[in-house]
Amino acid sequence: MQIKQILLASRPQGLPDDHTFNTVKSSLREPQPGEVLVKPLYFSVDPYMRGRMNDAKSYIPPFQVGEPIESGGVGEVITSRDDQFKTGDLVMATGARPFLPWATAAIFPGTHLRKIDNSIPPTYYLGLLGVPGLTAYFGLVDIGKPKAGETVLVSGAAGAVGIIVGQIAKIMGCRAVGIAGGAEKVNLLTDTFHFDAAIDYKGNPNLDAAIAAVCPNGIDIYFDNVGGEISDAVMRHLNFFARVPLCGQIALYNVTEVPVGPRIQPLMVTRSVLMQGFTIGNYSTRFGEGVKQLSEWIKAGQIKYTETVIEGFDQLPAALLGLFSGKNSGKMVVKV
C-alpha cells in the first residue's frame, strides 16, 4: 500500500521550520507472521520532542535525519498476523520506544503493541492518562510532596501538564496558582479548572509584583514547565524548604547558545530549596499507581480535561511548532 511519512530532513538550529521536515510517499510491504499493520488515528505532539531533534545525550535517543519523526499515538489495527490483535482494535506502542512513526500506516511486531480500552476517549491515553497526566502526578506528588494549606505555583499552567498539576494541588488542599500567556488562558484556569489565581505573563510587565499579589504567603512548590525569565521571577518568592519539580524548560528548547541567567544556588542555600529535574521515564515502574489514582479522580469528577485537536496528517509539523508559540490549551493532539 502507498503511505505518506514525515521525516526529519535536517537538525534545526533554534526554532524548527520548513527545512526541518520532509514529507515523502513510499510503499509499505505486507505484514509478516507476528506483525500487525496499524493506521494511526491520533498523534500526540509534545515539547520534549524538540530535544530529540538535537544530536545530544539525553534520556531518549535522538531522531535520525532521513528517518520518520515519532511521537505518542493511538492507532487502529487494519490487518493482524498476531493472534493477540484483530482488525479494529485500538492500540498504542509499548516498551522502551512507545512511539508511532509519523506515517499514515506502519507495521509493528505484535510484541511492541498494547490494546487500549475502547470505553475511554482514545485521546485520554495521550493526555490525562498518558505522559502529561503521569508527569503532573509524579512531579507534584513525589517531588513536590504537597501539604494542605501550601501554595503551589505552576508555570505553563494552561498546557497539558499544567492544568492537571493545578487540579491535583486543589485536591490535596493546596492553593493553586497558574502562570499562562494571555487573558483567555488565564480565564480558563480560574473559571473552568478552579485555580485560585492565575497570572497572564504577557499582560503583566511586572511579573514579580503580580506573583507577590496572588501569593501573599510565598510559594511552597514551584512546578516549572517553562524556565527562563518566568522562573527567575518565581524563584524570588520561594519559601524556606520550597520544592521545585523541574519538568520542562520550553522557553529554552530553541535557544542555540548556552542560556544565561541569574544564579539560583545562593537563594537555594539560604532558603534550603530542593530542585529536582525529572522525566516521566524515571517513574515507569509506578505508572500503574498513577493511572489508578488519576482514573479515580476523573470518575469522581475531581479532574477536568481539555485538549486542542488539530485535523490532518499534514498538519503534524505545524501542530508541533504551535506548542512553542503557545497555540494550545491543554493537550495538543493531531487527528489523522
CA–CA distance, 252 with 259 (Å, rounded to integer): 7
- The reply on whether position 254 binds a copy of itself by CB under 8 A is no
Q: Are 321 and 21 in contact (CB under 8 A)?
A: no
* Member of 264, 291, 298, 318 binding a copy of itself (CB under 8 A): 264
Look at residues 137, 42, 167 and name the one whose alpha carbon lies nearest to residue 93.
Answer: 42
Q: Are 74 and 92 in contact (CB under 8 A)?
A: yes
Q: Three-state SS for 21?
A: strand
For residue 293, the tally of other CB atoms under 10 A from its CB is 16
Q: Residue 218 is placed in which grid cell?
A: 510565598
- The reply on whether position 240 binds a copy of itself by CB under 8 A is yes
Alpha-carbon dihedral 124, 128, 132, 135, rounded to 10 degrees:
-140
Closest CB to a copy of itself among 113 and 226? 226
Closest CB to a copy of itself among 116 and 268? 268
- The reply on whether position 261 binds a copy of itself by CB under 8 A is yes
- The reply on whether position 58 binds a copy of itself by CB under 8 A is yes
- The reply on whether position 259 binds a copy of itself by CB under 8 A is yes
Of the candidate spans 37-45, 54-62, 89-97, 124-132, the one that interacts with a copy of itself by CB under 8 A turns out to be 54-62
- The reply on whether position 132 binds a copy of itself by CB under 8 A is no
Q: How far is the CB of 259 from a copy of itself (least distance, A)?
A: 4
* Member of 216, 266, 288, 301 binding a copy of itself (CB under 8 A): 266
- The reply on whether position 36 binds a copy of itself by CB under 8 A is no
CA–CA distance, 44 with 335 (Å, rounded to integer): 9
Of the candidate spans 65-73, 246-254, 313-321, 327-335, the one that interacts with a copy of itself by CB under 8 A turns out to be 246-254
CA–CA distance, 320 with 16 (Å, rounded to integer): 9
| Binding flags for a copy of itself, 272-311, as an x/- string (CB under 8 A) | xxxxxxxx--x-----------------------------
Closest CB to a copy of itself among 193 and 253? 253
Closest CB to a copy of itself among 207 and 275? 275
- The reply on whether position 144 binds a copy of itself by CB under 8 A is no
Judged by CB under 8 A, the number of residues near a copy of itself is 39
Closest CB to a copy of itself among 283 and 313? 283
Closest CB to a copy of itself among 259 and 312? 259
Look at residues 156, 172, 154, 160 and name the one whose alpha carbon lies nearest to residue 222.
Answer: 154
Residues 6 or more apart whose CB falls under 8 angstroms from that of 214 comprise 177, 196, 197, 199
The residue type of 162 is: G
CA–CA distance, 6 with 4 (Å, rounded to integer): 7
Q: Residue 32 is placed in which grid cell?
A: 509478516
- The reply on whether position 14 binds a copy of itself by CB under 8 A is no
The residue type of 154 is: V
Binding site for a copy of itself (CB under 8 A): 51, 56-59, 224, 227-228, 231, 240-241, 246-249, 252, 258-279, 282
